[in-house]
Structures are given as structure tokens and as C-alpha cells.
Amino acid sequence: MTPVIADLSVKKQKAGRVAYVNARLVDPASTRDETGGLLTDGERIADLGSHITTDGLANDIEVIDAAGQVLAPGLVDMRAHLREPGFEHQETIHTGSRSAAVGGITTIACMPSTDPTIDDVSLVHFIERRARETSLVRVHPIAAITKDRKGEQLTEIGLLSEAGAVAFSDGLHTIMNANVLRRALSYGTIFNALFIHHAEEMNLSGSGAMNSGEVSTRLGLPGMPAESEAIMVARDIRLAEMTGGRLHLAHITTIESIGLVRDAKARGLKVTADTAPHYLALNENAVGDYLTFAKVRPPLRAEDDRQALVEAVKDGTVDAIVSDHAPHDQDSKRQPFVQAAFGIVGLETMLPLVLEMVHNGHMSLTRALATVTSAPADLLGLEAGRLEKDAPADLVLFDMDKPWRVDIKAFQSKSKNSPFEGRPLQGRATRTVVSGRTVFHLS
């Protein structure tokens, strides 16, 4: 099958009436899982259910036979680095959107890891304007918590919220000053702002390059102890309790962090968490023979941590799965392991790696899809991630059982830094629809 990605002219075309029939409709928000069809009218969903078939359809309706494939809400990725402005040699909003479309992702929340940092209203408007001009999918900016992500002076959280920032984060920069994060969480309650924080005690992890343990010792690499994450998770939760603010812990990876989040939720605190597919699919052994494509922050952890994380996704302790898409050029990755940049690309492998947990029997399809549709949409306050009448016609059609092998040369991202090269996977997107218009399909 040949991938076909729409050009930007598709956004100027009028969205017509389309009927998707013979589909397995899966909507995590309503727990719908049934055979039926879905009708779009322009940019919205007009109707759906078992009664939507080819019978009685008007002649002006385009019919797409899903042939039993899953039709679900388009994926919502609440954490991706699109690098524009400042690092366009690694990624742009346009190339990132092409990569997202291939992966079945219809909405991206992009991180402020740019130059200049997204820390004022003009930069929020810049991202929104560039997305309108160049993106095939929806892109929403996440603004910085502190000026230039230095962890010192708070940004204008209220103005940025009004301008369109869907959340606040300093990316991989931990706010080490507890009083700064306390003030942010407290002030943010006025605007119901969500603060996405990277929890890492930087003085403890220091110049570490991978998980601290037997593997790092054997490879002679400086380690980043699991405690560096758990200590900061514990601190951040106390600050959330103190202020009543909305704290979202980014990419948690350890058993102890999971326990802390689980306890915080049980006490009714406004604490949520996400993780990324690579922490669910790989452990520290993936570093192997100094594979820099497996160098991420936080690092890949021990197998016990990985298994606990899968269970935490299943039981809802971990709310969302994010791509944590972090593109890097070859010069940044083809370095000695300690000097190489942290991060991997993940937009095109997120869906199949989430489906891997379903195929392995760890959780239901509905639960797995909730983590990449309705849950992140709800956290960000977006009208997305649902199959229901009058909802945006943002859809993904995917073949649950289609076998394929990761080929990084075929990635639409400008960067190819993925540790999954050659990995056999089962399931992939066959059609991605944004605002009723097909932006990607396999022909």
C-alpha cells in the first residue's frame, strides 16, 4: 500500500458529506464499541451508529468502506516538540504535521522548546498563525511557565491563557525553585491553568546519561537514579496540595513515582500524569551497545519499572500517553553517548505502540485509546477526542492487525532518531481525517 499525504491545498477545499461504513466504531469517551458507520457533513460529525449503512444514502454522499477497520477519534498528542521557531533544521510545524497525519494524530499540543521560547503572547499568535498556514493537523501552543524557561520569573499566565495557550510547561527544564512553582500553581487557579512539569532533581541526576543501575555500570556510563524523579514528584505533589493548582507530571517512569501519583489521586488532589510509548515498550537494555537513539530524558528504566508503568496506564493512574516527539539532526545524535542529545521522534509510532499493549493482552482497546484521545483532550480543555454528533470530524481509521516494520527512512519527520528501526509492529493508521478532509490515506 502506498502512503498518500495531502498537500496544503486540502485545507482550502470545501469539506463535503462522507459516509464511513462497515467500521468498528470505538469511542472511549462514551465506551462505544460497535459495528456501524459514521456520517460527516462539512467539518462536523452529523451522525453515527449501527444504522449508518450504504442503504438510503443520498447520491451526493461519498462512501468509504472501512472493511471492518477501527474508526476512532483522531489522536490527541499533548506533548510534542515541533522545534519551530529556531530549530527548523530539526523539524517544522509543517513537517511535524505530516508525520502526525501518517500516525493518525489530528491534534498536537506543541512544547515551548523553541528559540525564542514561547513565553509571550506574540509567540503564541505566531504558532497559531504558522499552524493555520502550514499544518495539516490542529496545533495548539503550550507556553512556558517561566521566562525563557529559566525557572526564575513567571510568564504572564493570564494573558497567555487568553491568547490561546492550552497549558504551561518549561519542557525538560525542571523548576528547581519550589517557591516559583508554588506561585505558578497558585496563580494558575484563577485561570484553571494546567502546568506540565518535568520532575527531576537535577542536582541528583547531574550529568547522567541513562538509568542508574547494573547496565549503566557495565557500560561505564554516568547514571540518573530513579530517586531523582521520585523526589521531585513528591515535592511537586505537595505544592499542588498546598495551592490547589492543576499539576500534570510529564513522562513519569518509575515505580515510586507511580505510587506517589496513585496516592495523590486517592486524596482527591488535582494531579495527573502521562508517559510515552518508549517507556512502555523498552527498558534500559535498549541502550545496548551505546545506541544514542535510545537516549531519552527521563531515561529508559528497569524492566520492573516498565511493567509497573503498563499497569498504571491500565488502571488509570497514568492518564495519558504522549508521543514526546523530540526530533534531532544527525549531528546531535551521532556523538559519543554522554554527549549525544536526549530525545526520540515518536509521532508515527505512537498509535502502533499503544496498540501493542492491546495485542499483548494488557488492556482493552477502549482503555488504550482513551489515553490518546479523550483523556488528553479533556486535560487541555479541547473540543477533540470524541465520536459524537456535532463533534469535529477529526478521525482515524486504522487496521488493528496490519503487520509492518518500522523504516525510519520513510518517516515524514525531518529527523530520524528512533530506537524502533526495524521493529515489527501490528496495526497502523490507514486514513486520517481533519475537519472532514482526508489528510492521509494508504492507497
Catalytic (active-site) positions: 324
> How, if at all, do strands 395-405 and 424-434 pair?
antiparallel
Question: Closest Cα partner for 315 from 252, 276, 364, 247?
Answer: 364
Angle at 105 between CA 76 and CA 420, to 5 degrees: 110
Question: Does an H or E element contain 382, and which?
Answer: none
Would you call the peptide bond into 116 cis, given omega within 30 degrees of 0 as the criterion?
yes
d(CA 364, CA 357): 9
Bridge-based pairing of strands 138-141 and 105-110 is parallel
Residue with cell 525510519: 408
- 53 C-beta neighbours (distance < 10 Å), count: 13
Left if phi > 0, otherwise alpha if psi is -120 to 50, otherwise beta: which for 361? left
Distance (Å, whole) CA 43 – CA 33: 23
What residues form DSSP beta bridges with 424? 405
Neighbour tally for 424: CB within 10 Å = 10
Q: What is the DSSP letter of 252?
A: -
Residue 115: exposure state from Cβ atoms within 10 A (0-12, 13-18, ≥19)? exposed
Report d(CA 158, CA 115) in Å as an integer. Answer: 22
- 112's grid cell: 515551548
**Residue 323 and residue 90: Cα distance in Å, rounded?**
16
